[in-house]
Chain A
Amino acid sequence: MPRFLTGLLTLLLLCTGPLWAEEVVLGLSKDKVSITTSFDGSDILIFGAVKREQAIPEGPPIEVIVTVAGPSTPLTVRRKAKRLGIWVNTDAVEVDRAPSFYAVQTSGPLREVLKDVEDLRHKISVPRAIRSVGAPSNISDAESFTEALIRIRSRSDLYQLREDAVTVSEQTLFRTAVRLPAALTEGDYVTRIFLTRDGQVISSYDTTIDVQKVGLERWLFELSRGQPLLYGIMSIAIAIAAGWAASAVFRMFRA
């Protein structure tokens, strides 16, 4: 927390200089997330200030939207249907790119702080962050597949939409906390901040949070990819040793 306060103070000092537009100055409580064996999710505090040259403009207040996106991968969404009395996967839609994690936090109701056109241009809301071009011609309701993807991932907190989660004070300082769940994949998490007025994006800023496995996790992961045969033999050796040890221990108890 002291670090957060000093960050804010620096930001405030920066704001006093002669400047020419409304821009974002950003701070993160950490720009690196280390996945250790005991990793159980992580909270990242995102805070910043709006720097501007003149007095706060008239009209609707400034709103802030913060998004954090994990690495994107192509996916297949399948749907089951009843065939000959049993439920089987029948239809499948390929999603070109979907982030493994995506959080949107806003300072007000998303529909009010962001116009649809702007959402389309900057791909801010959860459905817009997923890119899906065209489904096979035999599937007429491709949207329901994207909806299902969002529903499934939202249930495990991988996709989040938190309205009113960003606090804005004096139209200048803002802060929010993003909760990264325990089931996190490695990669660069792109963090974007948008300033909007009357639903229009007036400024944006992006940075990345580096999510990486460290220590034992890193070592095992790299061994399994780099030396798979060695890794496999090691797994079996551990299994055999554990089996033998348990048997030996029990024999001691019986003796």
Chain B
Amino acid sequence: MQIYLPIAEVSVNAFLLLGLGGIVGILSGMFGVGGGFLMTPLLFMIGIPPAVAVATEANQIVASSFSGVLAHLKRKTVDLRMGTVLLIGGLIGAALGVVVFNYLKAQGQVDLLVKLCYVIFLGVIGGLMFVESLNAIRKTKSGKPPARKKHNWIHGLPFKMRFRVSGLYISVIPPLLVGVAVGILAAIMGVGGGFIMVPAMIYLLGMPTKVVVGTSLFQIIFVTGFTTLLHATTNFTVDIVLAVLLLVGGVIGAQIGTRIGVKMKAEQLRILLALMVLAVCGKLALDLLLMPSELYSVGAATGH
């Protein structure tokens, strides 16, 4: 069934969009990532104009994250306190990120920088997670108890706060900084930032994996909601018909994904996320390295 999208001004198959939304929704619920880093390139591939894809994707992430967070709230696996601290950092970061983005745009080559950002961050994070999860699995197999979190420099910082759900008593500075960093990257790369935040929460803040997913989703709702509003009011590129089709599939997928996630071991979950991140990274890297089949591309006029 073909459907004409009013803002994107293209006609696409409605079932294809529902399916894409569903698959990305499952991953979103399982791993606590918004799925933007997967969905945005997929939307480019089916012919949605990039500006519309990025803006609409933000709107769809609001829906799938909200659906996912409700499931997590019910099981009390959301650290609202930590989420709020991350959110404050995230909004500051997003605002900074927009400034950086516009600066890069003025320099030209913003597409390339966004792609390089993707390859570097996805590669580093995916690689680290993969190695770490493999080690964790090996340790569990050999019967040794997992190493207890060590006290490091993070515990020496002031403004300590108790995060009961995460079982942490740490300074608010690291989570704030994580939020800012994720916010900046999210604004530049046009994604929710879950794939950066989840590992940062696990490895930098030492939060338990079970809490990380819900908390990350909680923060993503607000950051992507903010982004949607920005795109809708400045670029007029949010396509509500496209968003509805994606999110119908997405919210259902997120519910299924959350349930799958609960049944899996934390290490398995992390290794799967790592593999997925690495796969996307590899695809993007190949695009940059291999000779494209069409060297030319058509874009809107930039003005002289």
Contact = CB atoms under 8 A, between A and B. Distances in A.
Contacts of A229: 229, 232-233
Contact of A77 (B233, B234, B297): B297
26 contacts: A75-B301, A77-B297, A77-B299, A78-B296, A78-B297, A87-B288, A87-B290, A149-B298, A151-B294, A151-B296, A182-B11, A220-B241, A228-B232, A228-B236, A229-B233, A232-B231, A232-B232, A238-B243, A239-B60, A239-B62, A239-B243, A242-B247, A243-B63, A243-B66, A243-B247, A246-B251
Q: Point out which of B62, B243, B291 has the most chain A C-beta atoms below 10 A from its C-beta.
A: B62
Contact of A246 (B59, B60, B238, B255): B255
Given A95-B301, A213-B6, 10 more contacts: A37-B3, A73-B301, A80-B292, A89-B297, A148-B295, A232-B232, A238-B240, A238-B244, A239-B62, A243-B247
Given A37-B3, A38-B3, A240 B292 contact: no
Contacts of A245: 251
Nearest to A228: B233
B112 A88 contact: yes
Interface of A: 35-41, 73-82, 85-89, 92, 94-95, 145, 148-149, 151-153, 156, 182-186, 213, 216-218, 220-221, 224-225, 228-229, 231-236, 238-240, 242-247, 250-251
Contact of B304 (A88, A94, A218, A243): A94
B67 interface: yes
A235 B6 contact: no
Nearest to B74: A251
B3 A183 contact: no
B6 A220 contact: yes
A158 B248 CA distance: 31
Nearest to A251: B74
A115 B201 CA distance: 70
A74 B291 CA distance: 28
B109 A89 contact: yes
Q: Point out which of B47, B229, B254 has the most chain A C-beta atoms below 10 A from its C-beta.
A: B229
A153 B74 CA distance: 51
Contacts of A186: 9
B64 interface: yes
Q: Which 10 A-B pairs have the closest CB atoms?
A: A232-B232, A243-B66, A182-B11, A246-B251, A148-B296, A239-B63, A243-B67, A74-B301, A247-B70, A239-B62
Contact of A38 (B2, B240, B252, B294): B2
A235 B243 contact: yes
B7 interface: yes
A165 to B, nearest CB: 23
